[in-house]
Amino acid sequence: MNATRRDGTGITARPPRVLLRGSGDPGPAVVVYRLESGPHRQTGVVVEVSIDDYRGGRIRRHEATQPARVRELEEQAEATGVERMPVMLVHRGHLSIADITAETPTARLHDGGATHTVWIRRDEAGARALCDEIGRIGNLYIADGHHRMLAADRYAARRGLGSGHPSAYTLAALFPSDEMRILGYHRCFALAPGSTARDVLDRLAEHPLTERIEESPAADTEPGVVAIGVGDRWYRLRLRASGVLDAFAIEQELLPKLHDLTAAEADAAPGRQHAVETCWCDGRNAFRLIPHPPTIDQVLTTSDEGRPMPPKSTWFDPKPTAELFRRPLI
């Protein structure tokens, strides 16, 4: 089925050519995808979106990318000819899919601490109507998958096979913005030899942006308050009002003052960034900073303004899982 776009400013989408885990290509269909984690639930659709919309700024980003990770994903696409995970995109408003979730699911699995449920309705007319509805959306926003989106762009540029070829699109899961959940990202830092946690706390306390630091029984944050974890002890750093998001304050103001006290920033193991008791910092000569997460409206606003947020500013949870959907690129 051809992709549809309402006009020159709308999103171009088409029904996904996907191979669902354990089943074949359903042909033109509406694919509804629900993610659940604890009491949280978000329900969206899986479609193919045009790389041209990314190039034209209709699919907007909010974070910078790391070249090495993009190259790795490009090499995977070249080697396998398959996309294994959709980019997670956010849109304002809601799509007309509620009736489909009343049907028996096509697939359900538990992975990564979340439940993934998929409904596939083989309905060419319904799939076309859904893509028309998506075409009336002004913009989409990348929640998770900045590296995959850029890698897809570069793959398409190398192939240069035209707007109808699979490489001119990428697989995407679209969710309404008011159903998204953002957690505070744990930023873990190893201390340089000879540095101590007290050195870090003293340096932060002296910073003009710091109003006060106080001990806390837990990793407690709120707007304007950053949690600091040192061993098994927690502190609350209250920022002076500055008019900038907490993530920007950490990246642009606080961290530069600690560069001589830290040896490296490390990622926690996948899926463990927010489990305080199993964080990378545990048992190490290290500390962690946890900013209060931005709201989804703040993320979308920075995207609209073309101001990428600092690395590790957002952790959308839950996320799509790898290998549930597989989309051939050839």
Is the Cβ–Cβ distance between 164 and 244 less than 8 Å? no
274 pLDDT band, cuts 50/70/90, is very low
H helices then E strands: how many in the chain? 7, 20
pLDDT in tens, 140-185: 999 999 999 999 999 999 887 777 889 999 999 999 999 999 988 8
DSSP of 151-196, one letter per residue?
Answer: HHHHHHHHH---TTSGGGEEEEEEEEGGG--EEPPPEEEEEPTT--
pTM: 0.86
Residue 220: pLDDT over 90: no
Q: What angle do CA 270, 274, 278 make, to 5 degrees?
A: 75
6 pLDDT band, cuts 50/70/90, is very low
User: Residue 160 burial by CB count (10 A; 0-12/13-18/19+): exposed, middle or buried?
Assistant: exposed
pLDDT in tens, 275-296: 445 566 766 778 888 888 899 9
| Buried/exposed code over 94-133 (b: 16+ C-beta within 10 A; e: otherwise) | ebebeebeeeeebbeeeebebbbbbbbbebeebbbebbeb
pLDDT recorded at residue 247 = 85
- Tell me 99's DSSP state: G
